[in-house]
Amino acid sequence: MQVAYPLQIDQRGRVAEASEDAHIAHLIEQVLFTMPGERVNRPSFGSSLMQLVFAPSSDELATAVEYMVQGALQQWLGDLIHVEDLRIEHEEATITVSIQYIVRRTRQRQLAQFQRGIEQ
């Protein structure tokens, strides 16, 4: 078992745990929504996905952001997952990311969806 994200305490008063699948989904979420430079000891960690909220919408920008996010996932989680499909939707002040990936250790296909708004 892995530590749950965000960090929390379970009913027994211990650090909450997460299954391997949930842990990998939490790692993906951290890469997606962490801005490069936000982590002191890992300044290149993350993606610039949240900048899309403030950018004018265009097909070219969406394609560029998908490519950039795919690269960040490969760089930081490439030993854990293989991304098969990535879709980013930007509507008003909300970003929705749908990702289909294979967990390398188990070879299981997973589908996850993450959503963030500028108020979060």
65 φ/ψ angles, rounded to the nearest 5 degrees: -65, -40
Mean pLDDT of 19-26: 92
Percent of the chain scored above 70 by pLDDT? 92
Contacts of residue 110, Cβ cutoff 8 Å, sequence gap at least 6: 21, 24, 25, 100, 101, 102, 103
pLDDT at 60: 76
Rounded to whole angstroms, how far apart are CA atoms 57 and 55?
6
Residue 89: strand, helix, or coil: strand
Q: Lowest-confidence range among 82-86, 94-98, 104-108?
A: 94-98
Rounded to whole angstroms, how far apart are CA atoms 97 and 79?
21
pLDDT at 111: 96
CATH topology for 2-117 is: Nuclear Transport Factor 2; Chain: A, (3.10.450)
pLDDT reading at 62 higher than 90: no
Mean pLDDT of 99-116: 95
pLDDT reading at 81 higher than 80: yes
Locate the domains of the chain by residue range. Answer: 2-117
pTM of the model: 0.84
pLDDT at 4: 83
Mean pLDDT of 77-100: 90
